[in-house]
Structure formats: C-alpha cells, structure tokens
Amino acid sequence: VNSMKKSLIALYKRFNIPGAPPESMGKGRDWNVDLIPKFLMANGQLVRMLLITQVTRYLDFKVIEGSFVYKKGSIYKVPSTETEALASSLMGLFEKRRFRKFLVFVANFDENDPKTMEGVDPSKTTMRDVFKKFDLGQDVIDFTGHSLALYRTDDYLDLPCLDTINRIKLYSESLARYGKSPYLYPLYGLGELPQGFARLSAIYGGTYMLNKPIEEIVMENGKVVGVKSEGEIARCKQLICDPSYLMDRTTKVGQVIRVICIMSHPIKNTSDANSCQIIIPQNQVNRKHDIYVCMISYAHNVAAQGKYVAIVSTTVETDNPEMEVKPAMELLEPVEQKFVSISDQYAPTDMGAESQIFMSRTYDATTHFETTCDDIKDIYKRMTGTEFDFAEMERKKNDIFGDVADQ
C-alpha cells in the first residue's frame, strides 16, 4: 500500500527535495500522489477482477475526461465516436471515410465467423496488411496502434492482427460505457486498490501486517517454508512477492523514467480537463517507445484545491532519460515542482515450480492495468497449474461471494 501513494511531505522526503513544501501547495493531508501512474480500462481485466471479488464496493471511480494524442508538436483529442472521428482535425476528409470503414470492420469482426473477416485471416494476416487493405495513412496508423490499441512500440505491425483488433474492440467497448474516455481512476488514488483487497482478505480470515521488515525468506531443500521478520517466522507453503525481495532470482529487463509534476493549471489544449491522458507516439519523436502523460487533480481527492498532478512516463532508451521526456514536459509548462525517478524493471528467472516462490514483474511504463493483469493471470497459472478463467470465476462468484454480500 505504502509504495503506491504518498502525502506531499513524504514525496519531498522520498525524492530528497530540501525544505518543506511551500504554503502555496495547500495542506499536506490533501495530497495522495501515486508513484506509478495507471488508469483502469472501463471494460478491462482489472475491472472484471474487482467486480468478481466485489472489491468495487470499497471504491469510488471517476471517468477520466479525455484521451489525447500528440502529432507534430500539438495535441488532439483521440476521436472516440464516429461523430468525433468525422469532426476531428487529425485526418482529412477521405481519410476519415476510410477510418470509419475500418472501425466498422473492427466492431463487426468475429474470429469465429468468417463472413465478418472480409478476407482477413486473424491468425496469419499482419496488422500492417489490414491497414493497407483500408488504405490508412501513417498518422492514422500511429494513432490507431498507439492511442486505441495502446501498443508502446511498432512491433505489432508485423504480427497477426487478432490481438490488435481485440485491443481496439476493448478500447471502443470501454469508451461506450461512459463516453468521455475509456479510463477510470479511483477517488483518493490507486492506494485504495490494495486497501480494498485488504478488507476483502480480512473477511476471509487473512492477516495483513504493514511496515514489517523482511529479514529472510526461509528455504528448506530448495523450497520456501516461511518468511522471517523481527525474529518471528510466518510459515507458508507458497509465497508471492515482487522482485525486490529476491534479486538473485530475477533478470533486469529495462528501465522506466517517471516524472511527477505538480501544477496550478490544467494542460493546454485539453479544454481545461481536470483529468486526461496524452500519448506521444514514438514515431512522432523519433523513438522506439511511446511517452505517456497521465493527469489527475484535486477533483480526485489526490491534490489540494486547484492543483493538478501530471505524471510523465516512458521506457528508457538512452543514458539521458530526462532529455527523452522533454517533448512531454514541454506540454506541461509551467511546472511548480517535479519529482524524477528512474526505476529498473525486473522479471523473475525462477518461475516457482520447485521453490514455490511466485514473483511478479516490475510495473511497466503503460498507463493502464492490462499488462499487470496478464502478469497476475500468469502467477495464478504458475501457482495453481490452471488458467485464470474469467467466465468460470463470474459463474462461481454468486456461490462464493453471495453469502458474504448479505452480511
């Protein structure tokens, strides 16, 4: 819980900023700043998990007010409906018609019904060829792949198109639920998520111990048997942890830079939205990975009245990460205070079959929880030997959670 959100004073301390926060920042207790910015896709996997476990009853969500994309130095609203697409200045008139045809194709696409495929083989045809089929230009391809399908690189173009089509469907379906954008964000910040699960766990007899230093992971014959803290051992048969507890069983897979920016104004050209996401496609700034900006504000109870928090993030590609995020920082000017972190990303080398230790991957640079949920499903499979099946879980939900819901 603690690693996810910080009060303002804790934030200054963590980033070694000398002195106390200025008076103009308001009361310290009004701040709940996330260190890792992520939104929830309204129709995505995390929302399904929260609904299945009924953790939703402990949370209040707000819809993010808009999604924007960067093109040639300016930002444009990501058109989210046919009407918006036709009015958008991102595309010319003929391009709009072709894009509309493409969206209709995606909406109707059913991998089990060849009639909907218009000659596209979902397991063989590359996405590059699908874009060619609809004669879409480079700018529209950038915006579709990065702002709708939410890919961070262009590798997807030469892979079979099914995953991309499903991602665009997820975006459209998420958007259809609330209209302004496909993203949700909890009031009081992401730290509310683990707290919701802590409450659920308590109902089933789980014990949470906070601020407990871990001294040792106790092994016997290559298998985990417990965790030692302050001289006591909590015994276990299986252990779930993040890579920081067992660095010798992980491998470094990259670095992410995140810059938390405190501002007294909304971002320019976003119609004064009090929350938004901006995607800077890599092509637009000669990079391999996209740059993301997530902005939230006092409207989400995470900042003092009239204050905005924007978090810029991307995968590091050079030895000067701060220069890499410059195009995003320029969109935010003026910034009152920034907090820069560069984090190594790790993945487990021990998958847990023998040791029964199941490690997650470090949070990536994406601004939604879909990749995190894939990781959770992977851990579930490694622990239980079976796939995490949403439909099955949803069927069981009434059997398991029904009695608790009545209490």
Per-residue pLDDT reduced to its tens digit, 222-248: 999 999 999 999 999 999 999 999 999
pLDDT at 32: 93
- The one-letter amino acid at 215: E
pLDDT at 83: 76
Determine the 3-state secondary structure of 80 from DSSP.
coil
Q: Do β-strands 40-41 and 33-34 pair in parallel, antiparallel, or remain unpaired?
A: unpaired
pLDDT at 13: 92
- The one-letter amino acid at 276: C
pTM, entire model: 0.90
Which strand (E) or helix (H) includes residue 403?
A: helix 390-405
Which two structure tokens, joined as six digits, stand for 316? Answer: 């590091």
The structure tokens 């976003």 sit at 270
* Whole-number Å distance between alpha carbons of 8 and 112: 52
Radius of gyration of the chain measured on its C-alpha atoms: 22
Determine the 3-state secondary structure of 210 from DSSP.
coil
Which two structure tokens, joined as six digits, stand for 369? Answer: 């929880």
For residue 65, give the nearest of 193, 179, 197, 146 by alpha carbon. 179
pLDDT at 406: 45
Which strand (E) or helix (H) includes residue 6?
A: strand 5-6
For residue 169, CA distances in Å to 81, 150, 176 come to: 13, 12, 10
- Stretches in the chain below the pLDDT threshold 70: 1-5, 80-82, 398-407
pLDDT at 130: 97
DSSP structure string for 29-85: GG--EESS--BEETTSHHHHHHHHHTGGGG--EEE---EEEEETTEEEEPP-SHHHH
pLDDT at 268: 96
